[in-house]
Structure 1
């Protein structure tokens, strides 16, 4: 874990443009006070920390359990498999499991995440307990009344939830965000979700061009979860989710890992999958892996005056010192072992 005050020198990816420069970054009390040009050989690759824009951490208790059936059979409320498992899981085990998954995120360079949390107010409290003491900031979208104690409301497909209009109105009245799952198995629920002017859509796996243009025009970000889509059988080609179309139409794309029941909450793995399967540029992929931090109100892109949410890649790891393109190597090849964990000597 990084100390509050330190200086680190290396090849840094600066700003939302991810402009690579050799610099020294001076951090005091957790804030980037100065970014100065450096001439000596860099110590690290300095990249913005990742933000996992969509998780279901509670589902850790069902990790890789034997299962079959449709998407609704597995995850739809109130009686999908995951909901039945969650209902019978003792709270201490739930907290322990979520804590373990959050630690996994921290070790792989993630400093924030947005979670759809089941279980009402107690479910939200359990997630806060699980994250306590770790260098990571959760943004929680509660359900079943839990949204009143969270940052917003996380609504499953509009097909699965009754009384959506009242729930959204209540969230808006109390100044909380509204997020929807939409377009995961088909495009039929996207327009209805858009009618509520959400702060975030999750998946849009089958969204049409018209729906994506609407998201772009209204600056509604989309959190994509490609590995989950493939594992759950709602995607089988690089056309779903339509990531290339999202980017070409001007959508704001966030990257998430989705359900820990099926997918490890590791943004490095998610980035590599997006690179290999979807042929998206490394720059766009890393930007999507950081941009979800906008949900915190203080994006993690490396800029003077902003909080220092950075990840350090040690180029002495494996064969990384031979890289001719640091950004591409990070996105395609890095795992948690490449992340420098101990920088206390930099005070």
Structure 2
């Protein structure tokens, strides 16, 4: 691939420092960042990583937007599971492909998915990913962990063989992830006992549990819009994202079930900012940092693979912004994107 250059206001490194200049990309790697004046209204932002999805739920989109959490999503007889079992494979694959296209069009270039349906469920997502440039971490269950990149368990209280599924994943050197603390804190300690690589939700984690999670260095995928839609929170303290940061946890942003929430990380960031009032830079970091789950980094630095979004501020009122990070988190959307640069090389 020939050398390519991109002039813009660039958000550099994990600090997201705003610098005017030029990025040089050679063979898909950032080989130079040269500061200096540029004649463009563009911004370059790290690409986003959706740290928690259920893409299979695309086929159940908006069939139920409220209700009891267990009735809707608890395995094996929740509404979503009944719909998934009744859905023909070709429609399931097509639905996941459509949601992958939505993510790619909205600045997301990687995701971590909890994939129901055992081995066939994982293989269906792999089929949907054919031809897609997106990076993925596929967390199967019920035998799907053998074919995926790890195991994604609903909750220690939902299934009887969590220990067996975790053991299979660990034996194969694969990742272990748990939903925990979505509606109460009662299953968080049980999940922590397995020393997982990722926790999802922790909406009602206690201070003691947050300290334990921070000490163990386990990242937490928070799904704020989903939590609000499903009625497990009605305030900024749940999920306790501010406390997570104060205790030294690593919160990551995810969109959760496509059944309820569009997998658009820009909508997620804007909602999180509205609810939590956290500094926009913290929110953007949480939307980027999940790439570490897939063994990558999307932060823009020399020597790193190039995965970034180019935003044309002249297409909208963003050209009047004096704070690119705040405006990206609170205002930017699909219509502002000029290009997404994705490094498709395998790790």
Same-fold call, TM cutoff 0.5 = yes
Alignment deviations for residues 180-235 of structure 1 (CA, whole Å, 9 cap, x no partner)? 00000000000010011000000000000110111111110000000000000101
Task: Confirm or deny: 8 A CA contact 1:22 1:42 kept in the other structure.
Answer: no
The verdict on how the C-alpha distance between 1:261 and 1:32 changes in structure 2, with shifts beyond 3 A counting, is same
Q: 2:307 aligns with which of 304, 309, 312?
A: 309
Residue 5 of structure 1 deviates from its aligned partner by 4.4
Tell me which residue corresponds to 1:218. 216
| Structure-1 separation of matches of 2:31 and 2:115 | 36
* 2:150 aligned with 1:157: no
Residue 134 of structure 1 deviates from its aligned partner by 1.9
| Structure-2 separation of matches of 1:251 and 1:235 | 20
Counterpart secondary structure, 2:34: strand
Counterpart secondary structure, 1:288: helix
Q: 2:126 aligns with which of 122, 125, 128?
A: 128
Tell me which moved more, 260-269 or 312-321.
Answer: 312-321
User: What TM-score does the superposition give when structure 2 sets the normalisation length?
Assistant: 0.96
Which blocks of at least 5 consecutive residues in structure 2 are unaligned?
342-347
| Structure-1 separation of matches of 2:167 and 2:80 | 28
Backbone CA RMSD of aligned residues: 1.3
The verdict on how the C-alpha distance between 1:4 and 1:192 changes in structure 2, with shifts beyond 3 A counting, is farther
Tell me which residue corresponds to 1:340. 338
| Structure-2 separation of matches of 1:165 and 1:97 | 31
| Structure-1 separation of matches of 2:167 and 2:23 | 44
| Structure-2 separation of matches of 1:41 and 1:174 | 52
| Structure-2 separation of matches of 1:298 and 1:130 | 22
Q: 1:28 aligns with which of 16, 26, 29?
A: 26
After superposing on structure 2, the runs of 4+ consecutive aligned residues of structure 1 that deviate more than 4 Å are none
Matches within 5 A, 1:1-347: 5-66=3-64, 69-341=67-339
Alignment deviations for residues 137-163 of structure 1 (CA, whole Å, 9 cap, x no partner)? 111000111111111100011100112
| Structure-2 separation of matches of 1:252 and 1:68 | 29
| Structure-2 separation of matches of 1:66 and 1:245 | 32
| Structure-1 separation of matches of 2:2 and 2:69 | 44
User: What TM-score does the superposition give when structure 1 sets the normalisation length?
Assistant: 0.96
